[in-house]
Amino acid sequence: MKVLVTGASGFIGQELAIALLGDSSFSEIVLTDLVKPHIPYATSGHGIALRSVSADLTNAEARQALLGSTTFDCIYLLHGIMSGAAEANLDLGLKVNLESQIAILNILRTTYPGTTKVVYASVGAVYGPAQKGEVVSENTVPVPQSSYGAQKLMIETLINDFSRRGLIDGRVCRLPTVTIRAGAPTGAASSFASAIFREPLSGKRTVLPVSRDQEMCICSPRTVIKNLITASKIPKEKFGLFRTVVLPGIKVSVQQMLDALEEVGGRAALELIDERLDEVTNRIVASWPADYDTSRAASLGFEPDISLLENVQEYFQRYINGN
């Protein structure tokens, strides 16, 4: 498969690029982002052609240059403006999360009708607040309570409709919060869910802005990446009339996250957390469903997540012990 990854300088894009390079189903990979994406490691020996291209996908000429005369078997649509940033800047969110995605889907449906698999990274934020104990699934009516969630849901709907018409072959994956994210903090309200591991494990202080009894659904980078690759390989017939799937994650409380941090980093790591409740962040996080029924994902062949402790240990081995 010849594959394009948008948002490839981002966290998931970079992790996905590494995994694609190790998968013989992919023969040619193009990575694109606002700035030329970093190529994860030397391609020699992998037998996969790899190219990195800078493109602002809100720009029509840049989109045309990237997609107008090149066919891809599969496109991972990962670029976007995240939750907090999309809420703070409606115009930017609309431009990137909605308009640029519609424009790309329109190029695909008009220039190469029916030929391109599109794997779209959607999010649990398409749902509104869940009732206590409510289990959310693909059958739950999504009532987004953020512009980010609303923009994601609109693109989900379009991908489903274009797939119904046979114009693209879409796969919409609703991802849990991916934790632990390496690198810098983000504009997402969920940023703390990685920071409370990443910063203390590197000896840095960080703020915990939500209460310890807060629960959320998270997933390790390892499982999310495996499942995004699986998404491109499932026969379209298996999706039936609906191309949307809630990817597996695990429900954890903030207290359980702190316990896992202490188990891996010791008391010293735990002491680097400053608990400072931020009412706004706490309210946003409380509004996200934490319980998901992922039986559809299981029936389609997606993998369950590893345990939180394994996830933290893996991060520690890779980023702290590995340095």
DSSP 3-state of 28: strand
Report, in Å, the least distance between residue 58 CB and ligand NAD.
Answer: 4
State how far the alpha carbon of 275 is from the alpha carbons of 178, 205, 207, 272, 288, in Å: 22, 11, 6, 10, 21
Q: Which stretch binds ligand NAD (CB under 6 A): 55-63, 234-242, 248-256, 283-291?
A: 55-63
Residue nearest to ligand NAD (CB): 10
Segment contacting ligand NAD by CB under 6 A, of 4-12, 133-141, 164-172, 230-238: 4-12
Q: Is 76 an active-site residue?
A: no
| Chain position carrying tokens 């209460």 | 211
Q: Is residue 178 a contact point for ligand NAD (CB under 6 A)?
A: yes
Measured CA to CA, the distance from residue 266 to residue 199 in angstroms comes to 14
Q: Report the DSSP beta bridge partners of residue 52.
A: 31
54 binds ligand NAD (CB under 6 A): no
Distances (CA, A) of 316 to 45, 119, 227, 255, 321: 28, 30, 22, 19, 6
Q: Among 76, 120, 127, 148, which one carries the catalytic annotation?
A: 148
Output DSSP code: residue 140.
S
The rounded distance, in Å, linking the Cα atoms of 223 and 218 is 11
Q: Which stretch binds ligand NAD (CB under 6 A): 23-31, 64-72, 77-85, 262-270?
A: 77-85
Return the ∠ at Cα 146 (arms to 54 and 249), rounded to 5°: 75
Q: Is 56 in the site for ligand NAD (CB under 6 A)?
A: yes
Cα distance between residue 103 and residue 297, in whole Å: 29
Q: Shortest Cβ distance from residue 18 to ligand NAD (Å)? A: 13
Q: Is 31 helix (H, G, I), strand (E, B) or coil?
A: strand
**Smaller CB distance to ligand NAD: residue 187 or 262?**
187
In the bound state with ligand NAD, the residue whose beta carbon lies nearer, of 58 and 270, is 58
**In Å, how far from its chain's centre is CA 318?**
20
**Which is it for strands 2-6 and 206-208: parallel, antiparallel or unpaired?**
unpaired
Among 11, 145, 207, 226, binds ligand NAD (CB under 6 A): 11
Q: Does 80 contact ligand NAD by CB under 6 A?
A: yes
Asked whether position 58 contacts ligand NAD by CB under 6 A, the answer is yes
Q: Is 96 in the site for ligand NAD (CB under 6 A)?
A: yes
156 contacts ligand NAD (rule: CB under 6 A) = no
Nearer to ligand NAD, 145 or 186 (CB): 186
The residues binding ligand NAD (CB under 6 A) are 7, 9-13, 33-34, 56-58, 78-82, 96, 100, 121, 123, 175, 177-178, 186
Residues noted as catalytic: 148
